[in-house]
A = this chain, B = another copy of it.
């Protein structure tokens, strides 16, 4: 039965019940009908991804589907890919101002507003996805994130995690710290700052220009995400050395709402958004793993070499990361607070990860 028809029937039954003269069955029928207090709501959500973008984009479409199913159609999330309603990197401001109701993106994009925001994506050479989830939920991470985003009238949820990202595609093998000196690499964020301390010249390029720059040698290397998304970019055709990761060990994606709008929702709708975001987040992590595994299998048939950075580079990167964190902390009290909170949780959780997941994966 269509909802509209049902409403008519309900009204009729209710009318009969109210006016008397109805059978016992009719009364029982009207009593057993649950009337939901939730009014129909439609929220506009813009993403920083193109339409049908695998995993990150399709995951948000799935989120909208989950919300629709669980709310019986009373809560609709209308998803707008990038540049339809607002440009990819205007989603934060558009949601903050209330032009749209929500966005899906990555917190590191907003480090220009507050350097601490970069940390809500995770940090180089620090926690992986599961540990970051622990920090958010049990180590004070969510409290800090929501406190700092509240200044922009925003209310964030974790909206997925990429898992460990690859270290990038290089035209030549990197055998020593010396090989990094003067290397032109497309690498944004804290990873780029760490690389800069190692002598790399970090370049920022829009997604559409990276392949050509790498092909022509305008840049010597680029990082992107992992096999599943990298293979679509075609980097394997022009850079044969694919390095394992360290600079984005589990990047958090965000599903962030205009706070006033979120607060105005009914309790059921709030709960549906909260738990659907958790389901979406877990799904996205699993789908990244699955798709990365399938793409890696294909890449291995394409004459590429998967390599690890030499130990001296990783050790130098660890020292550089602490320098970057120190200088950012001197400039920003927010960065200092958030980084301190993360480091505290990392110290708590790492000994357990070391003897469980890390140890097991090394022996199986």
Residues of A within 8 A of B (CB): 1, 3, 6-7, 10-12, 14-15, 17-19, 30, 32-40, 66, 69-72, 74, 125-126, 128, 130-131, 133-134, 137-139, 163-164, 166, 226-227, 244-246, 249, 267-268, 271-272, 275-276, 278-279, 281-283, 285-287, 289-290, 292-294, 296-297, 300, 306, 308, 311, 314, 348-349, 351-364
Contacts and interface: CB of A to CB of B under 8 A. Distances in A.
Contact of A360 (B128, B297, B352): B128
Contacts of A34: 3, 36, 38-40, 72, 74
A297 B70 contact: no
Contacts of A300: 351
A306 B355 contact: yes
Contact of A130 (B70, B137, B285): B285
A293 B364 contact: no
With a 10 A CB-CB cut-off, give which of A69, A275, A281, A306 has the most chain B CB atoms: A275
B246 A364 contact: yes
B308 A359 contact: yes
B244 A163 contact: no
Contacts of A71: 268
Given A134-B286, A296-B355, A352-B289, A70 B363 contact: no
Contacts of A290: 134, 137-139, 349
With a 10 A CB-CB cut-off, give which of A40, A72, A281, A358 has the most chain B CB atoms: A72
Contacts of A283: 137, 278
Chain A interface, >50% SS class: helix
A121 to B, nearest CB: 16
Contacts of A306: 355
A287 B138 contact: yes
A37 B18 CA distance: 20
15 contacts: A6-B35, A11-B14, A11-B30, A14-B14, A14-B15, A32-B40, A34-B74, A35-B36, A38-B72, A69-B271, A72-B268, A125-B364, A137-B287, A282-B282, A357-B357
With a 10 A CB-CB cut-off, give which of A70, A272, A308, A349 has the most chain B CB atoms: A70
